[in-house]
Amino acid sequence: MQKNMRIFILCGLMILTPLIKVYAIINNVKGETLKVSPLTFTIQQEKNNIFKRDLEKAKTLFRKKEYSKSLEISLILIEKAKKYEDKELEYLCSFLIGDIFIKLNNHKKALLYFKKSLNILQSNQLINLKESSYVESFSSQRLTASNYLRIGAEYYRLGKRDSALQFYNKIIKMPTFDNRIESLKASAYTNLSGIYTQDSVFDLARDYAIKAINIHKRNNDKVSESAALINLANIHLGEKNYIKAKETYIDALALIENNKTNSGVKYKEQVYYNLAWTLYLLKDYTAYDYQEKSYLIKDSLRNAEINHIINEIYEKYNLRLAKEKTEKAKAEEQRKAWFFGVLSLLVLISSGVILYNYKLRQRNLKLKIKQNELDQKSKIDKLKSESQTRILNATLDGKETERKQIAETLHDSVSSLLSSANLHLQATKMQFNGTTPIEIDKTQKIIVEASQKIRDLSHTLVSSVLLKFGLAFAIKDMADKYSNSKIEIETDIKGVKRYQQNFEIKVYNIIQELVNNILKHSNAKKALVKVHQKKDRLLIAIQDDGDGFDKSTIANKDGLGINQIEARIQMMKGKFEINSNSKTGTIIEIELPIVEKETKVNA
């Protein structure tokens, strides 16, 4: 019996020994000295060529906006770079991954990878990058400046202003060796100017803006020069120097008037909008012409933004699936390694123990697979819920945009045609020597009535006062129109200024729906609409002395409805509270985070 057992163990070891050696070679197990030969050098060259092709493929996918695929290749490539201690490849992959996460709006991870690339750069391990297979030229100063600019921008997007200032100041203190470093300095000056403008430190902001303008002018970069001029004009606007602001906006517009690149179009829309507001403040009503141009560009940009949101959801979904696939592959590799080790031990013990452990392992594996399936299902359900929320928000935004477009068409096109028809009828009446035919008088009355109805419908869809003069004027106009002999509506508006237009439309629609509810259901004699800005929050209170109501019994009817208003406010990350009583009336309080006009950050 003992002899048979020895033979069995010996045979097992004879079979396993070559398998273990092969496994060690495949997995690059240390412990053996490899001989260097011409073949080894050739293999190294082929490895570099493969890595170079993979890196170029990842960059190409990034340029095509296929971010999840680009990220999957880059993450695999960076692990290979670490395994072979290829610091140049690790640096380039880290920088590319940072750019990918910017596009996916994951700024924490973008900052992490830009810091990793900077650490590699500052560790003096890229001395041979000039002769690398991956890049054609090398400038340590330029790469460092690019990293500083990316890191500063990500800190600013994450709300860490002081850290952003620290990295921007590092760039402007660097010596200038070529035009590229000078351009990176100009971008830092522009970003610093934008930050200090928001802080109302106008002297420092102006100084940085002028430095950026001079650099871009020397380099003949008209788009970047226009962006820096917009910053300078914003400073003049903040200082209430409207004439100087107007002149600077016009100079910025002249540089990009015929530019059709994405950056040029975005800057053009910004110039049109800010110039319209400046002209309005100067009581120059050609402002409306520039405002209309701004809206035309903004509509096209909004369509692109909606497509970007949909693509972003799709990219994040693909990214999660790719991550799960990679984790599953790693788990499979670990399982195989564990299997070989356990198998060697089990052969030395006995065939009975092998069988018992094999069954136990199979049972545990089934439990793990089942648990993984449950985890994956949970992740997919969560992703679907997030997608539905984003789609609902996009749908409501689309409805508001559509209402705005219909209102503008009715007001600007149909109303103008009816006015023209009325003038023609008036001219026709003058050609009659005697009594005018009664049909012409009736036709005129019908046209006048139709014009009035179209104006009323246009104002019902979207207030023209809101689009042209902002939220404060629109609310006062609403109160004046809705007040009558049965109810008096007053307003109390403090500190309200111009915000992002979509934000203004959403706030106005919410207030209008709540005021309509007062008119329809409350039997109130007095109502008050209070809108105050407190720091970065907009505080809204709408109260009346009417009958009051029970919120739990109110169902959605016309318009938005109380429940849908509350859902809308939640999506805007705001707070909503109702206090209603049959004796004291109703007070509705809303608190919303303000969405300011966008400030361009170069990176």
Least confident range of 4-18, 155-169, 392-406: 4-18
* 564: nearest Cα among 394, 404, 398, 393: 393
This prediction has a pTM of 0.45
Residue type, 381: D
Q: How far apart are the first and last CA of the chain?
A: 77
| Distance from the Cα of residue 595 to its chain's centroid | 13
Residue 211 CB contacts under 8 Å (≥ 6 apart), including other chains? 186, 189
Structure tokens at 7: 């033979």
For residue 415, is pLDDT > 60? yes
Residue 130: pLDDT band with limits 50, 70, 90: very low
- Examine the pLDDT at 60 and tell me if it is beyond 80: yes
Segment 26-48 shows an average pLDDT of 50
Please name the residues in contact with 133: beta carbons below 8 A apart, sequence gap of 6 or more. Answer: 48, 49, 51, 52
Provide the pLDDT for residue 26.
Answer: 41
- How far apart, in whole angstroms, are the C-alpha atoms of residue 468 and residue 470? 6
Sequence-distant (6+) residues with CB within 8 A of 311 are 65
Q: Which candidate, 320, 263, 270, places its Cα nearest to that of 293?
A: 270
| CA–CA dist 131, 128 (Å, integer) | 6
Query: How many residues are there in the chain?
Result: 603
Least trusted range by pLDDT, from 175-184, 402-411, 464-473: 402-411
Model pLDDT, residue 483: 92
Judged against a pLDDT cut of 90, whether residue 407 lies above it is answered with: no
Q: Please determine, for residue 592, whether its predicted confidence score (pLDDT) is greater than 70.
A: yes
- Mapped onto helix, strand or coil, the DSSP state of residue 126 is coil
Helix (H, G, I), strand (E, B) or coil at 582: coil
> Is there a contact between 256 and 223 (Cβ–Cβ < 8 Å)?
yes
Alpha helices in 431-553 (DSSP H): 438-461, 464-469, 471-482, 501-517
- Tell me, what's the pLDDT at 35? 43
Residue 112 has pLDDT above 90, yes or no: yes
Nearest C-alpha neighbor of 144 from the set 111, 181, 112 = 181
Average pLDDT over residues 185-210: 89
Q: What is the CA radius of gyration of the chain?
A: 34
SS3 content of the chain, % helix, strand, coil (to 5): 75, 5, 20
Q: Please, what is the Cα angle at 602 between 598 and 603, to 5 degrees?
A: 130
The answer to which of 121-135, 260-274, 455-469 has the lowest mean pLDDT is: 121-135
Check whether 54 has a pLDDT greater than 50.
Answer: yes
Domain 38-138 architecture: Alpha Horseshoe (1.25)
Q: pLDDT tens digits, residue range 446-456? A: 888 887 777 66
- Confidence at 300, pLDDT banded by 50, 70, 90: low
The pLDDT, as a whole number, for residue 18 is 47
pLDDT surpassing 90 at residue 359? no
Per-residue pLDDT averaged across 106-135, rounded? 75
Distance, CA of 107 to CA of 101 (rounded, Å): 6
Question: Does residue 22 surpass a pLDDT of 50?
Answer: no
Query: For 316-325, what is the mean pLDDT?
Result: 59
pLDDT of residue 461: 66
What is the reported pLDDT for 295?
A: 60
Minimum mean pLDDT range among 30-34, 101-105, 267-271: 30-34
Per the prediction, the chain carries an average pLDDT of: 77
Among 80-84, 112-116, 245-249, 442-446, name the one with the lowest average pLDDT. Answer: 442-446
Is the model's pLDDT at 577 over the cut of 90? yes
Task: Give the domain ranges of the chain.
Answer: 38-138, 470-593
Residue 457 has pLDDT above 90, yes or no: no
Half-sphere exposure of 203 (CA within 13 A, CB side): 0
Percentage, residues of the chain above pLDDT 90: 18
More confident residue, 467 or 195: 195
pLDDT of residue 536: 92
pLDDT at residue 19, as a whole number:
46
- pLDDT grade for 394, boundaries at 50, 70 and 90: low
Bridge-based pairing state of the strands 488-494 and 526-534: parallel
Contact 475, 491 (CB under 8 A): yes
More confident residue, 138 or 531: 531
Residue 207 structure tokens: 């100084």
Q: How many of the other CB atoms lie within 10 Å of CB of 28?
A: 9
Query: Is 3.30.565.10 the CATH classification of the domain at 470-593?
Result: yes
- Report the pLDDT value the prediction gives residue 319, as an integer from 0 to 100: 59
| pLDDT (0 to 100) of residue 353 | 66
